[in-house]
Structure 1
Amino acid sequence: MIVGLGNPGDEYAGTRHNIGQMVADELASRSGTALGVHRKTRTRAATVRIGGGPATVAVPMSYMNVSGGPVSALAKYQSVEPQDVIVVHDDLDIPFGAVKLKRGGGSGGHNGLKDITKALGGPDYVRVRVGVGRPPGRMEAAAFVLKPFSAAERKELDLLISLAADAAEAVVVDGLESAQQEFHSPRA
């Protein structure tokens, strides 16, 4: 199960905080489908094909800071164990354009991850960390992630979304360790 994090509503659609939702939409699009409302779990979800098998791609319909309930509800509904959940999210500690993968760990101040960890009963899920860079100057992190990408970033945004979607698929197909070796290596 791959979950892309973000906030609902048009005012958040193109913001850094919604990169996870953008990746989820890309994964659904690759399978020729779109995310549909799954009312029982308060998510938008779709079944896609990754590596020849089915996988669920979803986004919570809640705000980022309370995504744990919908993620946990969908995992239970789909009979998916927490260690088989992959969460795609924005990460301020990674430069724009880079993608890093890990299992477990802390939230790094990311309230969406805090809520998911609480709802799933622990941090033992995989994270696809999509780099959005640090805020300029003294800008607050919360304000930065809720701003749209800059014009220069938008020129590379489709590539970043595709890279993050590739990374999520690689975790499903090849496993976390192999995907880390591929996506953590310097790119030419």
Structure 2
Amino acid sequence: MASNNVRHIILVGLGNKTHPGTRHNVGMMALDYIAAKHGCTWTRKPSWDADVAETTIRIKQKRPKPPKAKVKPVKEVTEGDDAAPATPTITTSTTPCVGSAIPNPAPPQYLELHLIMIKSWMAMNICGPTFAKALRDSNLTAQDVVVMHDDMERDIGKLSMKQSGSANGHNGVLSITKHFKTDHFRRLRMGIGRPSGGTRRPNDVARYVLGKFKPNELAVLEDVVYEQTLQQIIQVFSAATAKAAHSTQKQK
């Protein structure tokens, strides 16, 4: 039987349900892609003020290679030599003899990522209570969370995983930090570009993030970004889980 490691992850897609398809909602749109790809159904969860979908992704992990057998040569002794006959070195053959039973290979190791995807009903700047409640009810920690959100510091098509730290002025991340009581949670920042001219005036920024994606921008998201989002999440948690398992083995 295969050995399974299960890692539970909360995926937060930031956005405003009242403004579908806008740049500020790219986190929710990425979750919709992941849910659709894995045939998930969104269900209402009033206790969290959210829509929730769940799926499990099974990843085959590489098995460690068995150590190579070391074969020592046997000194040949000819008749008449005074030296005692050499004792042959017995080694285990990696190729079974004809007619012998072939041993079963070690079972493959798998990592299962159980994704709990959440879209809050609350406005983005006050969404923190939704995800704090989900965290408590799921018996998970902030280290088990990835918050996906829009980022004006990056162009469309650019992604960046951040482990912890400042919210960089993003109100949704600020609300989550406040209610998690820590900033040690992962954020996947999804580039949406900036208003023309690079203006940072609040009214211009608000109009931009609440504006709809252009057709060519949607094409980049749907053809490239959403799949890269899922792959980055898989890679990060696969590596983190493998590192934790290796550390545990070293301590034993």
TM-score of Structure 1 vs Structure 2, range by shorter chain: 0.7 to 0.9
| Equivalent pair of 2:50/2:120 in contact (CA under 8 Å) | yes
| Equivalent pair of 1:5/1:88 in contact (CA under 8 Å) | yes
Shift of 1:101: 0.2
Q: Provide the secondary structure at the position in 2 that maps to 1:148.
A: coil
* Match of residue 142 from structure 2: 82
* Match of residue 17 from structure 2: 8
CA root-mean-square deviation: 1.8
Give, in whole Å, the separation in 1 of the partners of 2:15 and 2:240: 25
Give, in whole Å, the separation in 2 of the partners of 1:110 and 1:149: 19
Counterpart of 2:25, as a letter, is N
Per-residue CA shift, 1:87-118, capped at 9, x if unaligned? 00000111111110011111111100000000
Q: Provide the secondary structure at the position in 1 that maps to 2:219.
A: helix
1:57-68 matches, cutoff 5 A: 57-68=117-128
| Equivalent pair of 1:36/1:44 in contact (CA under 8 Å) | yes
Shift of 1:4: 0.6
Counterpart of 2:15, as a letter, is G
Answering whether residue 29 of structure 2 is matched by residue 31 of structure 1, we say no
Unaligned runs of 5+ in 2: 1-9, 59-111, 244-252
**Whose radius of gyration is greater, 1 or 2?**
2
For these two proteins, the number of residue pairs brought into alignment is 175
Q: Choose 31-40 or 87-96, whichever is displaced more.
A: 31-40
Q: Provide the secondary structure at the position in 2 that maps to 1:13.
A: coil
| Equivalent pair of 1:43/1:74 in contact (CA under 8 Å) | no
Shift of 1:165: 2.4
Shift of 1:16: 0.7
Counterpart of 1:163, as a letter, is Q
* Match of residue 70 from structure 1: 130
Q: Provide the secondary structure at the position in 2 that maps to 1:28.
A: helix
Q: Provide the secondary structure at the position in 2 that maps to 1:115.
A: helix
In proportion to residue count, which structure has more helix?
A: 1
| Equivalent pair of 1:87/1:128 in contact (CA under 8 Å) | yes
| Equivalent pair of 1:25/1:34 in contact (CA under 8 Å) | no
Structure 1 residue runs of 4 or more that deviate by more than 4 Å after TM superposition: none
* Match of residue 182 from structure 1: none
Give, in whole Å, the separation in 1 of the partners of 2:135 and 2:234: 18
Distance 1:172 1:34, change over 3 A: farther
Shift of 1:170: 2.5
Give, in whole Å, the separation in 1 of the partners of 2:14 and 2:217: 19
Quote the sequence identity (%).
29
Q: Provide the secondary structure at the position in 1 that maps to 2:153.
A: coil
Answering whether residue 228 of structure 2 is matched by residue 168 of structure 1, we say no
Q: TM-score, normalised by structure 1?
A: 0.86
Distance 1:171 1:30, change over 3 A: farther
* Match of residue 249 from structure 2: none
* Match of residue 100 from structure 2: none
Give, in whole Å, the separation in 2 of the partners of 1:125 and 1:100: 14
Distance 1:4 1:110, change over 3 A: same
Shift of 1:172: 2.9
Counterpart of 1:170, as a letter, is Q
* Match of residue 17 from structure 1: 24
1:1-188 matches, cutoff 5 A: 1-9=10-18, 12-51=19-58, 52-137=112-197, 138=199, 140-158=204-222, 159-175=224-240
Give, in whole Å, the separation in 1 of the partners of 2:30 and 2:210: 17
Shift of 1:84: 1.2
Counterpart of 1:54, as a letter, is H
Give, in whole Å, the separation in 2 of the partners of 1:163 and 1:115: 26
Distance 1:169 1:142, change over 3 A: farther
